[in-house]
Structure 1
């Protein structure tokens, strides 16, 4: 079972965390299932950028982003070459290290 190392994020996991992921699930699903409450304003339908992550290790194990994901990634805050929408990046058998950017372009957050 692959692991996802989540680097520290001031609001979501200040100490960082290591979670177990199931091969075939998205990074977003694994994060949410393990109580890392990443934003996902479009309910994981690839219609926003609020679940943007930067894959610091293991990027090459992910299937290539499709054109729709690439189009949305172009709008993400803090875009980097190893950026992905976590709702579209499917975990394979390799461990991953991900960083959740500090900001999103979401103007209305349901987190209070």
Structure 2
């Protein structure tokens, strides 16, 4: 199973194995990672699963859809490397992915 690392704003790191086909958000929720609330359950109707993707991984992810861009406009301090973790599906190619959780979600 691919390993995903979640970095809290306080510097605490959580590296967990997430099954292929789950989203990065689902992996966080199933493992009680603080700061990924996923209020809408992955329906892309909120921004409570907002993460910053490490630059070296950003181009390996599928492009953002317009709906994701719209939701990120409502997120806390969106940046160029912002993504909704519900829209990132885990696969073997993402083994080692690191995402950071914004401070207002932590």
Equivalence for 1:109:
none
Shift of 1:53: 0.4
Contact in 1 for aligned 2:38/2:48 (Cα 8 Å): yes
2:22 paired with 1:25 = yes
Structure 1 spans left out of the alignment, 5+ residues: 105-112
Runs of 4+ with >4 A deviation: none
RMSD over aligned Cα atoms: 1.7
RCO greater where, 1 or 2, for CA within 8 Å and sep 6 or more? Answer: 2
Per-residue deviation, 1:63: 1.5
Relative to total residues, which structure has the larger helix share, 1 or 2?
2
> For residues 102 and 42 of structure 2, what CA distance do their matches in structure 1 show?
17
The equivalent residue for 1:58 is 57
Cα distance, 1:28–1:34 mapped onto 2, change above 3 Å: same
Aligned to 1:3: 3
Q: Which ranges of structure 2 fall in alignment gaps of 5 or more residues?
A: none
> Shift of the alpha carbon at 1:23?
2.1
Q: Where do residues 1-112 of structure 1 align in structure 2 (5 Å cutoff)?
A: 1-10=1-10, 15-37=12-34, 38-56=36-54, 57-93=56-92, 94=94, 95-104=96-105
Using the size of structure 1 for normalisation, the TM-score is: 0.79
